[in-house]
Chain A
Amino acid sequence: MIEIKDLHKSYKMGNNSLHVLKGINFTVDDGELVAIMGSSGSGKSTLLNILGMLDVLDEGTYTLDGVPIKDMNETKAAQYRNKFLGFVFQSFNLINYKTAAENVALPLYYQKVGRKEREIKALKYLEQVGLKEWAGHLPSELSGGQKQRVAIARAMAAEPKVLLADEPTGALDSKTSYEVMDLIQKINDAGNTILIVTHEPDIAKMCKRIVHLKDGVIIEDEKINQVRASSYVQ
């Protein structure tokens, strides 16, 4: 599904150049649930941004679902993001003047799906995250965990090939974190490929594979026995 070869990325900071990613080789197969771990500054968010086509790579190749991702203009990148990728952010990034259902329907709007169909689909995905009754509520009326679940429903609504989550539990307490992870695991069980950036070991252990990043290189890449979040959730 994802194939990265010899990826380099550096940022210019005035006269200094900051080499963030120094040769990453990395593949993700269909249906994997991968945690990318590392201390801050290790380059994990940069890697996720490049995977999400929010940022461009300097060197190396990136292939997503057999399509080489290079020389993208903004319009093309937007269309690919819309088609291939779903995003979940640490701070949810819901649009505050739209109801939960409207937020979920937003990527469908950019897919040019008709209004009626958008509404039906949005409700379907809200139901999957257990928030169907909250469809008409604004984000300000939802708790943190609920907001993140709406964000996950929004990411899933576009039926992406890969779900990218940047610290999805970073702003949540551990109980709601486990609820969100339970949801992510269920989505993964349904066959979706998911990448999670986290620095919390217990969250990483709920994935099927952990990639450790340090100073821009992968220092460890291990498959683990997944801890089911449902065992923590009552």
Chain B
Amino acid sequence: MRFLFDRNTWQEIFGSIGKNRTRTIITVIGVLWGIFIYIALSGAAKGMDNGFEEIFKSVAKNSMFVWAQSTSMPYEGFKTGRPIQLKLEDATQLKNRIPEIEYIAPRNVRGVFGDAPGTIVRGQKFGSYNVYGDFPVFTKITTKKIYDNGRFINDADIEKARKVCVIGERTEKELFEKGESPIGKFIRIDNVYFQVVGVHKFSQGGGFDNDGDIFIPFTTYRKLYNTGNDVGWFSIAAYNDADVLKVEESVKAHLKRIHRVNPDDERAFGSFNIGEVFNRISGFAQGLTFLSLVVGIATILAGVIGIGNILLISVKERTKEIGVRRALGATPREVRAQIILESVFLTMIAGIMGIILGAGVLSIINNATEDLDFPYSNPTVPIPYILGALAIMVVLGTLIGLIPAQRAVSIKPIDALREE
């Protein structure tokens, strides 16, 4: 231990390393590059992971949408091409039959699927916005952040089919004066007056959400647009421990039974499974993390081998010096320790520089992509990973240093000192 803290030890290491500056730098670059790749790649992988996480943050990760299309097979006397209409009762049936369903939200919309959006008027200002008919349970599946003092649609609104609405940020900007609070004010949706009860903050949740969306109670919607018990689609969230793919299948199976569709008809109902997409993306991010680990470690290994190689050459060049040291009383242990320490020291310096460089590049990328629509945020490499990488480098540095150290010890002082 004394050896480690002796200034002479370090002076000798600096002396021998500093003698061949160019070669030292080239050697160091090998390991530096390795750790840099490792840090940059795994940080970037984490950044993308975080980015996807951010996108899906407002949506329950094990949720899905189910909608109805037309049959593609004849069944029970019905001909092919029969359009299917989802009904409000389906929701109750599904909820009762499939225990894995945590929330089910029947939804309707105008303006998304080819029909005309609602015309919204306030005073002299007007615009076209998508109008959704929703139940409060919808917010359990897709979080809607409501601005100060506002609220989302509640159960009483549904029960009494109140004419209340939640408007989007853009709607607020376009229909109201700057600084004017829309809460409690009235707007006209397709010629019916609605009181604004909240403004929702837009967050990209996949699908067709946008910042002008207007939400009204489902029950009001069906009166306004005369849709009866028709449902546009179901938004469904399964329990966290449920297998979303299985839930998706059984939801469709039940719907086929309810609507008397051939069980083998794949076209009758469409669905989009966010859980599956999310799993696929997070699997991709995990793969990327793993890849960066493999690539990083392989590159570090190559770099460390380079250090070992250089030290081996330098031992050969320093044969005489080592001979002198041994003539002056350096024990084999001391000679060995010095070479190994040189190896570890070079590796560590290179590693630390690589980590700093990698962190710098990550932060530059982060700043550059901050304002872009690119799934990348807060790229980090956990401290244990960094310490682990450093530990690997120390171990590898020691192991690789053993080879030149053994070479140095095997030189007999007499051979080293023999005059030419």
A residues in contact with B321, CB < 8 Å: 95
Question: Known contacts being A54-B414, A109-B8, A115-B8, is A97 close to B18, with CB within 8 Å?
Answer: yes
Q: Counting CB contacts under 8 A, is A153 at the interface?
A: no
B330–A52 contact, CB under 8 A?
Answer: no
A110–B334 contact, CB under 8 A?
Answer: yes
Return 17 A-B CB contacts under 8 Å, by A number.
Answer: A74-B332, A75-B332, A81-B327, A82-B329, A89-B417, A93-B323, A95-B324, A95-B325, A98-B15, A106-B325, A107-B328, A109-B6, A109-B8, A110-B325, A111-B329, A118-B8, A158-B329
Interface range on chain A (Cβ under 8 Å from partner): 20 to 34
Q: Which B residues from 1 to 44 make CB contacts under 8 A with A? A: 2, 6-8, 11-12, 15-16, 18-19
CA–CA, A151 to B365, complex, Å?
57
B residues in contact with A49, CB < 8 Å: 414
Binding site for B on A (CB under 8 A): 49, 52, 54-55, 74-75, 78-79, 81-83, 87, 89-91, 93-95, 97-98, 102, 105-107, 109-112, 115, 118, 154, 158, 167
B16–A87 contact, CB under 8 A?
Answer: no
Question: Known contacts being A89-B417, A102-B11, A115-B7, is A78 close to B330, with CB within 8 Å?
Answer: yes
A78–B326 contact, CB under 8 A?
Answer: yes
A54–B413 contact, CB under 8 A?
Answer: yes
Question: Known contacts being A54-B417, A95-B321, is A75 close to B331, with CB within 8 Å?
Answer: yes
Select one of A78, A93, A154 contacting B417, CB under 8 A: A93
CA–CA, A90 to B71, complex, Å?
102
CA–CA, A118 to B6, complex, Å?
12
B6 CB to nearest chain A CB (Å): 7
A111 CB to nearest chain B CB (Å): 7
Interface range on chain B (Cβ under 8 Å from partner): 20 to 34
Q: Counting CB contacts under 8 A, is B170 at the interface?
A: no
Please classify the interface of chain B as helix (H, G, I), strand (E, B), loop, or mixed, using the class held by over half of its residues.
Answer: helix
A87–B327 contact, CB under 8 A?
Answer: yes
A residues in contact with B327, CB < 8 Å: 52, 54, 81, 87, 93
Question: Known contacts being A49-B414, A91-B419, is A74 close to B328, with CB within 8 Å?
Answer: no
A110–B329 contact, CB under 8 A?
Answer: yes
Select one of A75, A90, A107, A115 contacting B333, CB under 8 A: A75
Q: Counting CB contacts under 8 A, is B320 at the interface?
A: yes
Most chain B CB inside 10 Å of its own CB: which residue of A90, A93, A107, A112: A93
CA–CA, A100 to B321, complex, Å?
15
B328–A110 contact, CB under 8 A?
Answer: yes
B residues in contact with A94, CB < 8 Å: 324
CA–CA, A91 to B16, complex, Å?
20
B24 CB to nearest chain A CB (Å): 13
Most chain A CB inside 10 Å of its own CB: which residue of B7, B12, B329, B331: B329
A97–B328 contact, CB under 8 A?
Answer: no
Task: List 5 A-B pairs, minimum CB-CB distance, nearest first.
Answer: A82-B329, A110-B329, A97-B15, A54-B414, A78-B331
CA–CA, A90 to B18, complex, Å?
27
B residues in contact with A74, CB < 8 Å: 326, 331-332, 409
B residues in contact with A110, CB < 8 Å: 325, 328-331, 334
Question: Known contacts being A54-B414, A97-B19, is A81 close to B333, with CB within 8 Å?
Answer: no
A93–B320 contact, CB under 8 A?
Answer: yes
A residues in contact with B330, CB < 8 Å: 78, 110
A9 CB to nearest chain B CB (Å): 12
A83–B324 contact, CB under 8 A?
Answer: no
CA–CA, A78 to B334, complex, Å?
10
B residues in contact with A158, CB < 8 Å: 328-329
Select one of B323, B328, B332, B412 contacting A82, CB under 8 A: B328
Query: Residue of A at shortest CB range from B14?
Result: A97
CA–CA, A95 to B322, complex, Å?
9
Question: Known contacts being A54-B414, A110-B334, is A93 close to B329, with CB within 8 Å?
Answer: no
CA–CA, A54 to B8, complex, Å?
25
B407 CB to nearest chain A CB (Å): 14
Query: Residue of B at shortest CB range from A49?
Result: B414
A residues in contact with B332, CB < 8 Å: 74-75, 78
A residues in contact with B2, CB < 8 Å: 112
